[in-house]
Amino acid sequence: MKALISVSDKTGIVEFAQALHALGVQLLSTGGTAKLLADKGLPVTEVAEVTRFPEMLDGRVKTLHPMVHGGLLARRDLPEHMAALKEHGIETIDLLVVNLYPFEATVAKAGCTLADAIENIDIGGPAMVRSAAKNWKDVGVLTAADQYEAVLAELKANGKLSDKLRFALSVAAFNRISQYDGAISDYLSSVKFEDEKLSEEYVPARDLFPGQSNSQFVKIQDLRYGENSHQQAAWYRDLYPAPGSLATGVQLQGKELSYNNIADADAAWECVKSFDTPACVIVKHANPCGVAVGANAFDAYSKAFQTDPTSAFGGIIAFNRAVDKAAAEAVSKQFV
């Protein structure tokens, strides 16, 4: 088994490579990753030795080569594929470990120049990831450090990866490529090209609303039903949800929330968090039936409840302060 490792984020990569080596996996690598592994005493072959072509253009070209992509894309079950590899002296690659240049982190920094942003657009990494992910039946592709443990567990137990894990890794890889390309498009679509000729130090002004918005959503859970009982629904959150949004919360108690529970909770939270003083909001069927401020959580809740006690039955209650004993006891007297 052969693994090609080329990572920007080197978190856990030495330990992972050491474990692969202990399992008899041959290691290929590029640039800084290869140096790191070699410095740790691991036997590693540089990709340039395999391609017989040096890294060039400041690292822009290093893995864009048939010796790499042929090894990733060849179907092991097709004799003509394997014959082509043999004819051209290409060896198969069974594991690909790649995380991409940190484009999102780079453009998030204050004062990021357009040149820095452009240089952090990965080309070879996504190309390899797509090749490996397409050939998921034969190649395992890892795009994040939190995948290392599951891969090692299966290799230690079975000597190979299951179809289920390889497919899951492939899906995660294509998701990552989609997120990456979306972030690049969002950034470049927001850049105001104000000068005819730009210097390397140019920090571009950016439109608040980019020319193209590439929203990415991750499923939190399936829901029992949608707004009405005959409808299906699922709950998704933004890839990078705003701090303090409902999607970042943790349910501590009670049965699974419904579509209407979540929609009402979001409405209640968005309303109550706009107050600086202690406040309580009660929402029923997407509309506030009680909104009040008070000296504390109990006082605010008491006033909000008195606004419309009938509609408050079965409603969603939100506070912008920790709920103390007095407020909790008052809330527990009604169905919520």
Catalytic site residue 134?
A: yes
Q: Is residue 220 part of a domain?
A: no
CA distance 12 to 16: 6
Q: Is residue 324 part of a domain?
A: yes
Residue where one domain finishes, among candidates 148, 169, 192: 192
Q: Is residue 31 part of a domain?
A: yes
Residue where one domain finishes, among candidates 192, 224, 241: 192
| pLDDT score recorded for residue 196 | 64
* Cα angle: 260, vertex 266, 232; to 5 degrees: 30
* Active-site entry in 40, 81, 134, 303: 134
Type of residue numbered 20: L
Query: Are 186 and 175 spatial neighbours (Cβ–Cβ below 8 Å)?
Result: no
Q: Is residue 205 part of a domain?
A: no
Catalytic site residue 285?
A: yes
Using N-to-C axis directions, what is the helix angle for 124-134 and 66-73, rounded to 10°?
A: 30
- List strand residue ranges (DSSP E) for 47-138, in order: 95-99
Q: Is residue 278 part of a domain?
A: yes
CA distance 265 to 283: 8
| pLDDT score recorded for residue 156 | 93
170 with 95, same domain: the answer is yes
Q: Is residue 213 part of a domain?
A: no
151 with 273, same domain: the answer is no
28 with 176, same domain: the answer is yes
How many helices (H) and strands (E) the chain has is answered by 14, 12
Write the CB contacts of 207 (distance below 8 Å, at least 6 apart in sequence): 190, 191, 192
In what helix (H) or strand (E) does residue 259 lie, and over which residues does it extend? helix 259-272
Q: Is residue 188 part of a domain?
A: yes
Q: For the domain that residue 297 is a member of, what is the CATH number? A: 3.40.140.20
114 with 262, same domain: the answer is no
| pLDDT score recorded for residue 250 | 87
Q: Is residue 6 part of a domain?
A: yes
136 with 262, same domain: the answer is no
Number of domains the chain is built from = 2
37 with 174, same domain: the answer is yes
| pLDDT score recorded for residue 195 | 66
185 with 65, same domain: the answer is yes
Q: What are phi and psi of 90, to 5 degrees?
A: -100, 130
Residue 59: which domain range?
Answer: 2-192
Per-residue model confidence as pLDDT tens for the chain (336 residues): 999 999 999 999 999 999 999 999 999 998 889 999 999 999 999 888 888 877 777 777 778 888 899 999 999 999 999 999 999 999 999 999 999 988 999 998 988 988 899 999 988 899 999 999 999 999 999 999 999 999 999 999 999 999 999 999 999 999 999 999 999 999 989 888 766 666 667 788 888 888 888 888 999 999 989 999 899 999 999 888 888 888 998 888 888 888 999 999 999 999 999 999 999 999 998 899 999 999 999 999 999 999 999 989 989 999 999 999 999 999 999 888
* Active-site entry in 285, 303, 325, 333: 285
| pLDDT score recorded for residue 49 | 85
178 with 286, same domain: the answer is no
| pLDDT score recorded for residue 175 | 94
Write the CB contacts of 12 (distance below 8 Å, at least 6 apart in sequence): 145, 148
Q: For the domain that residue 87 is a member of, what is the CATH number? A: 3.40.50.1380
Max CA pair span of the chain:
83
State the sign of the Cα–Cα–Cα–Cα dihedral 307, 313, 314, 317.
positive
| pLDDT score recorded for residue 151 | 95
21 with 148, same domain: the answer is yes
Give the up-direction half-sphere exposure of residue 99: CA atoms within 13 A in the CB hemisphere: 17
